[in-house]
Amino acid sequence: MLSPDAAIETVDLAKRYGRITALVGLSMRVERGSIFGFLGPNGAGKTTAVKLLLGLARPTAGDALVLGAPVSDDRAHREARRRVGYLPELFRYQGWLSAREVLAAHCALMGIDRAARGHEIDQALATVGLARRADDRVQTFSKGMQQRLGLGVALLGRPELVVLDEPTSALDPVGRHDVREIVRGLRARGTTVFLNSHLLSEVEQVCDRVAVVDQGRVIAIGALRELLRADTVRIRATGLTDGARASLAREGFSLDGDGERFVARDVDEERVPALVEALARAGARVHAVEPQHETLEERFLALLAPAAEGGAQRATAEKKEQH
């Protein structure tokens, strides 16, 4: 059963376009006040999911709540969308307008009170670092500056939920750092951020939870600490004899290396204390233990590998049938 307490919740959300299935059965929950990463390769169904959540397309099956409003209830969902800020991946503003004029136009479209518009615009410009270029025409902006302006538009009206589609794709390292700080600031004030990005290092730095989508399905979802395994432990120890290593092997700990530096593989974070105890019982003096977490990119590729293999097998079978 869907819960209105979540910022976003979907159950078996599906979308078909004729014979093409864009989304199979998306089920996920995004807690309010969190930063949620939505990841997947091109064609995985991410854009379709965002369109369904924002009312830009209707689901074929399943249901979803956005800020407590069902996407199937046009009136309620329309009211909820007033509390959502959105930065699409591809957007363009009229080049002859200034940054301030672009923001003013969106304030009018959003129905923000005239008396409050000046403050809203100044705040958005300051937040995204465009205060000094407020009256310059958009056509003079670099791609990165236009990206900042789009982010400013998404932040107008202090939305409860901000959906960002590739917000750092056109930014240099300084710009990406600034966006990370903006996103963290949104979380600090209780705003939910739904972040769709191909830059996995960016997602890894800011997201509380992530969902990995492939071929229209969620193949993994959870907190980063749950998804990123600590399966390698680097150890600096003395007094580790061959007999001690054999004793450790009987307890399920296989060590590579010699001298004082060793690596224990296939050891998740919960087993690290047991490894240290086993080393002490074996007579070793332990000087350092360092669990090595896999990166989000490594985990992402590992999750996609079985699906890619399955897709290749299906394609081969289809070719054989055709012949």
- pLDDT computed for residue 157 by the predictor: 92
Residue pair 186/128 in contact by the 8 Å Cβ criterion: no
**H or E stretch including 203?**
helix 200-206
- pLDDT computed for residue 308 by the predictor: 53
Which tens digit of pLDDT belongs to each residue from 172-224?
Answer: 888 888 888 889 999 999 999 999 877 777 788 889 999 988 888 888 888 87
Q: How many whole angstroms from its chain centre is CA 195?
A: 5
- pLDDT computed for residue 309 by the predictor: 52
**pLDDT-flagged residues of the chain (< 50):** 312-323
Q: Do domains 8-224 and 229-292 have the same CATH topology?
A: no
CATH class of 229-292: alpha beta
So where are the chain's domains? Answer: 8-224, 229-292
Residue with tokens 């399955």: 310
- pLDDT computed for residue 101 by the predictor: 96
Q: What CATH topology corresponds to 8-224?
A: Rossmann fold (3.40.50)
Q: Which residues contact residue 83 at a Cβ distance below 8 angstroms, ignoring those fewer than 6 apart?
A: 67, 157, 159, 160, 161
Strands 35-39 and 209-214, bridge-based pairing: parallel
- pLDDT computed for residue 320 by the predictor: 42
- pLDDT computed for residue 313 by the predictor: 43
Is the C-alpha dihedral spanning 132, 84, 212, 310 positive or negative?
Answer: negative
Residue pair 211/221 in contact by the 8 Å Cβ criterion: yes
- pLDDT computed for residue 103 by the predictor: 97
- pLDDT computed for residue 244 by the predictor: 83
Q: How far apart are CA 32 and CA 55, in angstroms?
A: 20
